[in-house]
Amino acid sequence: MDPSKLYVEYYAKLHADRAMRLWPHFLQKSERPDFISKRGELGMEITRAAIEEWAKQEADMNRHFGDGMPGEAVEQSILADCNIDTIANGAKEGEDSLLFELPPDVKEMHVGRIIERITDKTIALKGYQPCRENWLYIFSETTGLDRADMLRVQAFVDVQEEALLFDKILVKVGCLLYVLARGEALSEIALSSRALLRLHRRARWLSIQNGKK
């Protein structure tokens, strides 16, 4: 399997383990969904809310540079999300990172893409191995979304009418993991930059090891 895809999947799994307080070995690698518990208590699918044109550029770059640094563009994006360089250069944990405001049309594009991924994966859910509970983990492709934007996604989740739905939708936006569930209040979980850097290193190791199989 493509190491960059494995990296994304393992990072999401490790992040969900830590943020949602799952036992580290509870979820195991699978297909459809990407991770599943041994007895089918929980299945988790991973996806990126990638803008198609940007995803193509990233794939072209990875092909150009070869397999020496699998998923380099994805990894650097995740590291930048959490201001790892600032921590590494001696800044104190918890210092404010640089925030930026996306133009309204760009925000609309990213929010729309998250909703599209929820829609697409919800339709595909009926073809996955049955589990008592189903989660969807989504990587946002920008740090420029805020709680108000995620409340728009929550409003979409609240009115979904499909017979089979995800019980929880986890959306990573920068350092924050937003947790959405139909009919429940939007919540968010933040981990320290140091903790996220450890997840990155572990995910990278797992993706390289399992990419060889």
Residue spans per domain, the chain: 3-211
Burial per residue of 177-202, b for 16 or more beta-carbon CB atoms within 10 angstroms, e otherwise: bbbbbeeeebeebebebeebbebbee
How many Å apart are CA 192 and CA 127, to the nearest integer? 36
pLDDT at 70 exceeding the cut of 90: no
pLDDT at 9 exceeding the cut of 80: yes
| pTM of structure | 0.84
**Which tens digits make up the pLDDT trace of 146-182?**
999 999 999 999 999 999 999 999 999 988 999 999 9
Q: What is the pLDDT of residue 73?
A: 61
* Per-residue tokens: 67: 């397999």
Question: For the purposes of burial, counting CB atoms within 10 Å of the CB of 60, is it exposed (0-12), middle (13-18) or buried (19 or more)?
Answer: exposed
> For the chain, first and last CA: distance in Å?
8
Calculate mean pLDDT across residues 107-120: 95
